[in-house]
Amino acid sequence: MSVQSVRPVRALPTPATLPTPRTVSNLATLGDSTAVGLGDPLPGGGWRGFPVLLRDALGAETRLLNPARTGARMADVRGAQLAAVLPARPEAAVICAGMNDTLRSDFDPDGIRADLTATLAELAAAGTFPVVLRYHDHTRVFRLPGRLRAALRTRVTALNAAIDTAIDGAIAGAGGPAVGVLDLHLLPGGYERAAWSVDRLHPSELGHRLLARAAGELLAGAGFAVPAPVPTACGGGREITAFHRAAWIVVRGTPWLVRRGRDLGPVILHGLLTGGRARAA
């Protein structure tokens, strides 16, 4: 399995010139509930998710720094989470943020671009190699009425454009590919139902494994040691039953839709008035 970056990649060196892979002593994961691990519950409670799976792939001595929190936006990564990891000068970081921005009435692509640009600059100054998630068409996973689907798809397109611009600036400033891009739209198996949890908002255990494996491949391609690539066979997580699915609808799903309905009211209205031709912001 491989994930193509949306950025040009320099020719790989020949085996004779390959440097010794760098060890990742400190791995940082920054972002929202996906980076928290939601969708991959543990039998005893709590979440695992791609950060823990990726850390395990990097080696027993790798320390995970994960200040991610549910509901976080790109501004939270820049404003609070970055400060929590920079003192450790992590060799690698994964940034998973922006989707919560698309679900808010104050969605601001220019602000997202500025926040990610600043985040990448600070990581570069700390000597950290970042992997940035670029987003899929989530309306293919979370089914919505046609006009609302078009409005939200437009927002994801604007989010990706903001991410692309920030990454282009970071690469230009470094004089080469200084950023790994994990394009979820190109992730093999990423649109399969089994890759998504009961809420269709977060990856399932399989989805988290696909994310962790792809991030590991990008790090390996950037010259880091990944001694134990993440297996895609599930194991160690909590089994999800029909009861869990029903409970989620009652306890989590309906309240979530009510909360998002307040924020997305203007988006829904605009989609209805324009026939789905929603603006990016």
- In three-state secondary structure terms, 124 is helix
Q: Report residues of the chain scoring pLDDT below 50.
A: 1-13, 242-243, 245-251, 253-254, 256-258, 260, 268-269, 271-281
pLDDT, position 18: 61
Is the separation of the CB atoms in 219 and 131 below 8 Å? yes
pLDDT, position 280: 42
How far apart are the C-alpha atoms of 70 and 52, rounded to whole Å? 16
Is the separation of the CB atoms in 29 and 66 below 8 Å? yes
Give 37's DSSP letter.
Answer: T
pLDDT, position 231: 94
Is the separation of the CB atoms in 95 and 267 below 8 Å? no
pLDDT, position 112: 98
Only one residue has tokens 């939601």, namely 38
Task: List the beta strands (DSSP E) in 135-261.
Answer: 180-183
Phi, psi of 130 (to 5 degrees): -95, 145
Residue 93 bridge partners (DSSP): 28, 130
